[in-house]
Structure 1
Amino acid sequence: MVPREHIQAVCSQLKNSPEARFDFLADLCGVDRGPEEEPRFEVNYHLFSTTTHHRVRLKVLLTEDDLHVPTVTNVWRTANWHERETFDFFGIIFDGHPDLRRILLPDDWQGHALRKDFPLRGYEPYSLK
């Protein structure tokens, strides 16, 4: 686990360190552990070294009342769409992101569809125009 305020520095060190060389952000995803869990949300960073073939997963825990975490787009440009998707589906805000907006759901979509408290059938009525 990495404290949110250190995630950029840890990722940068893992990418740029000659010993580690985690040069590939394989995935970045959000997790809603459920309303009864505290802290409720996670951001998972799956890193891979194309040189050493090692993998590592970093985890940042977030409480429901503070869903902010620094962006890592300054470390890996590929984090851009991963962070946008996580914002879209979970409402996690990546501070410093160059273009944090919905990526898959319509702009007028209410809520965040992968949260455990999101209604199974969505909010009615909704029509695609």
Structure 2
Amino acid sequence: MNLTDIVKKIKDKFPQEILWLTCFREEYSITVKKEKIKEILVYLKKTPSLEFDYLVDVTATDYLGFREPRFDVVYHLMSIKYRHKIRVKAQVPEEGCCIDSITDLWATANWFERECFDMFGIIFTGHPDLRRILMPEDWNGFPLRKDYPVKSALGDKEWETYRELKETSRGWKENEK
């Protein structure tokens, strides 16, 4: 079965859920409605002729200022048995920024979803331990959002622990003189 057949099979099974398809350099991306993401991913994993058994990655994209819904949650899947790859995207609006967790399908989704939460603020409903994984627990904001300040002039958004460290290091420099 080639990728065109796989995409046709998905379209036949979920005709109302597919928003659009793209193919670039022989890689397919399927954009779906977020409400059925888990059902679609179960189908891709458990259908014997597909068997997308390896979750390569879960990430997100922020389209602030370009379109609504603002975010895409992106799932990169691979079938080890058939050596097929596919990308499934689900659109997530900024308002009510959540999508179903898939940690019960792939154990590796646990850390991928935590990273998306930490960097983009997307909530994965049903995740067993949704908390920051890269940033400190007391960090304010989500660093990969397009509206996150790029420069360090964060003012009151500056991480308090970092502010304290800067003050302490100033004292060290003065004592060295």
Task: Tell me if TM exceeds 0.5.
Answer: yes
Q: Partners of 1:110 and 1:79 in 2: how far apart?
A: 24
Identify the match of residue 124 of structure 2 among 85, 94, 97. 94
Q: Partners of 1:119 and 1:37 in 2: how far apart?
A: 20
Q: Partners of 2:83 and 2:99 in 1: how far apart?
A: 28
Say which one has the larger Rg: 2
Contact 1:20 1:49 in 2 (8 A): yes
Asked if 1:108 corresponds to 2:131, the answer is no
The one-letter code matched in structure 2 to 1:77 is A
Q: TM-score, normalization: structure 1?
A: 0.94
Identify the match of residue 54 of structure 1 among 84, 89, 108. 84
Higher relative contact order (CA 8 A, sep 6+): 1
Instruction: Kindly indicate which of the two structures has a greater share of residues assigned to helix.
Output: 2
RMSD of Structure 2 on Structure 1 (CA): 1.4
Asked if 1:5 corresponds to 2:40, the answer is no
The one-letter code matched in structure 2 to 1:47 is L
The one-letter code matched in structure 1 to 2:94 is E
The one-letter code matched in structure 1 to 2:90 is V
Where 1:86 maps in the other structure, the secondary structure is helix
Where 2:32 maps in the other structure, the secondary structure is coil
| Equivalenced residues, count | 129
Contact 1:73 1:97 in 2 (8 A): yes
Identify the match of residue 73 of structure 1 among 103, 110, 124. 103
The one-letter code matched in structure 2 to 1:100 is L
- Report the CA distance between 1:36 and its aligned residue: 4.2
Q: TM-score, normalization: structure 2?
A: 0.69
Q: Partners of 1:84 and 1:28 in 2: how far apart?
A: 10
The one-letter code matched in structure 2 to 1:23 is D
Q: Partners of 1:32 and 1:80 in 2: how far apart?
A: 21
Q: Which residue of 2 aligns with 1:18?
A: 48
Q: 1:113 to 1:83 in 2, by over 3 A?
A: same
Q: Partners of 1:5 and 1:65 in 2: how far apart?
A: 15
Q: Which runs of no fewer than 5 residues in structure 1 stay unpaired?
A: none
